[in-house]
Amino acid sequence: MVESYIQTELGIIPNEWRVKSLGDVGAVKMCKRVFNNQTKPTGAIPFYKIGTFGKEPDAFISEGLFKSYKQKFSFPKKGDILISASGTIGRTVVYDGRPAYFQDSNIIWIDNNETIVSNEYLYYVYQIADYSTEGGTIQRLYNDIIKNTKFICPPKTEQTTIATALNDVDKLINELVKLISKKKLLKDVVQQSLMSGKKRLGGFREKWVEVTIASLCKTFTKQTGFDYSAFIKPKLVTTYQNGVIPFIQNKDFNCKKINFNTDYFIPENVAKDFPKIVLDEKCLLISISGSIGNVALFCNSQKAFLGGAIAVAKFMNKAHLDWVLFYLLSRPGQDVLLKNVKSGAHHNLILDDLRKITIPLPSTEEQFAIVKILTDIDSEIESLENKLDKYIILKQGMMQNLLTGKIRLV
């Protein structure tokens, strides 16, 4: 069969497909307003506000109020797709039919006619819907915006085929998310037991010692004497290229990794005048203000320029560096870091306090063995996260092609 296509306001689509507005398939609905004095922090029926939509509820209503409002006013059916109309606009949650109530006007749904479009298909339409107005960025999904939003609607048989294919990818994504969560929990348990000495690896009996972090370092310093704001405008380069090096701030820490694709890059001719704050060897970075307790490993694969509010530990023996890194990222390590936080206009850590922090230290051989186990778990988690990223990209591509008819499954 030769496929034929037609030109529409949403582009070229298969001949038997149609462009519709969300308002064509059903009315926009919302729950009856619930006031603050009608909610409690605990109770029988969870009441979801925009801040807890898709998360854990922090407010509840009585069973009597729930039954009364459900009977008298609009209420979603099982399978209806709830949409956030404020905050992070367009987030979706499929209503599972369990007793719950939802904040009026902030959480809405379309009471769609499933003879035209199924909930299963509409769920994916919402994920690529272009909610827009002539004014540009929208702050809220008003009813008229939703009603006027266009989408491409195939026949019901193709809706089912497309939704099934996308749902299969969603299942793979959800399974990976669960597996990654389990692996992270496993690492947390293993890290806590091995790095506290409560569980010893076979063949190791040597007694551990308590040492200060500073005693393991040749230098333990922080950036001083550089006003980087003077170079933000207009001299600072904002893309990586020859002649510049990344400007690392504590917001660029991601667990133990560093994001080198950061906001700013310092020209090398500026950086060379401040050699003490140019990172060019493997060292440990600790955030001492803002995101306190965040720890990252800098490897000398490339140079970087250091922002303020970061302590830099350079070790005499690089073997100790990995041990201290994993320890400070463990629960006991985070506890000891946060215990030293000083309150003031901003919470912060004092460098002298960091230098005095004591940590348990096994023999170098046992350090290597424990770090190897934790590194292997990290590598497995990273591999799964990379796989997850690929599935997410795959799903985005599938939605763009399947929901527009560029690729047909029949």
- Give the single-character DSSP code of 231: G
- CATH number for the domain harbouring residue 332: 3.90.220.20
pLDDT at 407 over 50: yes
Backbone angles phi, psi at 188, to 5 degrees: -60, -45
> To 5 degrees, how large is the angle CA 285–CA 289–CA 294?
45
Q: Which residue has 């099934």 as its token pair?
A: 164
Beta bridge partners of 245: 266
Domains held by the chain: number: 3
Residues 273 and 347 in one domain: yes
* Beta carbons of 84 and 95 less than 8 angstroms apart: no
Has residue 12 been placed in a domain? Answer: no
Judged by average pLDDT, the poorest of 113-117, 178-182, 263-267 is 263-267
pLDDT at 233 over 50: no
Please identify, among 361, 384, 401, the residue that sits at the C-terminal boundary of a domain. Answer: 361
What confidence score (pLDDT) does residue 229 get? 62
* Beta carbons of 222 and 351 less than 8 angstroms apart: yes
Residues 139 and 244 in one domain: no
Residues 125 and 162 in one domain: no
What confidence score (pLDDT) does residue 1 get? 46
Please identify, among 361, 384, 400, the residue that sits at the C-terminal boundary of a domain. Answer: 361
Beta bridge partners of 168: none
Residues 80 and 26 in one domain: yes
Has residue 369 been placed in a domain? Answer: yes
Residues 170 and 281 in one domain: no
Residues 147 and 158 in one domain: no
- CATH number for the domain harbouring residue 397: 1.10.287.1120
Instruction: Tell the burial category of 233 from Cβ atoms under 10 Å away from its Cβ (0-12, 13-18, 19+).
Output: exposed
Residues 262 and 393 in one domain: no
Residues 175 and 187 in one domain: yes
Judged by average pLDDT, the poorest of 85-94, 272-281, 320-329 is 272-281
Has residue 11 been placed in a domain? Answer: no
Residues 375 and 354 in one domain: no
Residue 354 to residue 349: CA distance in whole angstroms: 7
Structure tokens at 87: 């905050």
Look up residue 86 and give its amino acid.
Answer: S
Residues 28 and 145 in one domain: yes
Residue 267 to residue 278: CA distance in whole angstroms: 12
Residue 18, CA distances (Å) to 54, 117, 152 in order: 32, 11, 6
Q: Is 338 strand, coil or helix? A: helix
Q: The domain containing residue 116 runs over which residues? A: 18-153
Mean per-residue pLDDT of the chain: 89
**Pairing mode of beta strands 92-94, 81-84:** antiparallel
Residue 28 to residue 109: CA distance in whole angstroms: 6
pLDDT at 344 over 70: no
- Bond before 234 cis per omega within 30 degrees: yes
Residue 44 to residue 199: CA distance in whole angstroms: 43
pLDDT at 227 over 70: no
What confidence score (pLDDT) does residue 280 get? 81
238-277 pLDDT tens trace: 666 677 888 888 888 877 888 888 878 888 877 777 777 7
Has residue 6 been placed in a domain? Answer: no
What confidence score (pLDDT) does residue 221 get? 86
Residue 210 burial (CB count, 10 A) = 8
- Report the pLDDT averaged over residues 85-95: 92
Between 319 and 410, whose confidence is greater? 319
Tally: H helices and E strands in the chain: 10, 23
- Give the single-character DSSP code of 389: H
Has residue 348 been placed in a domain? Answer: yes
Residues 329 and 372 in one domain: no
Judged by average pLDDT, the poorest of 227-231, 302-306, 357-361 is 227-231
Beta bridge partners of 46: 60
Structure tokens at 92: 């979706």
Residues 326 and 372 in one domain: no
What confidence score (pLDDT) does residue 246 get? 84
Q: To which H or E segment does residue 46 belong?
A: strand 45-48
Between 106 and 230, whose confidence is greater? 106
Has residue 2 been placed in a domain? Answer: no
Between 230 and 145, whose confidence is greater? 145
Has residue 5 been placed in a domain? Answer: no
Q: Is 394 strand, coil or helix? A: helix
Q: To which H or E segment does residue 320 belong?
A: helix 318-329
Give the number of residues written for the chain: 410
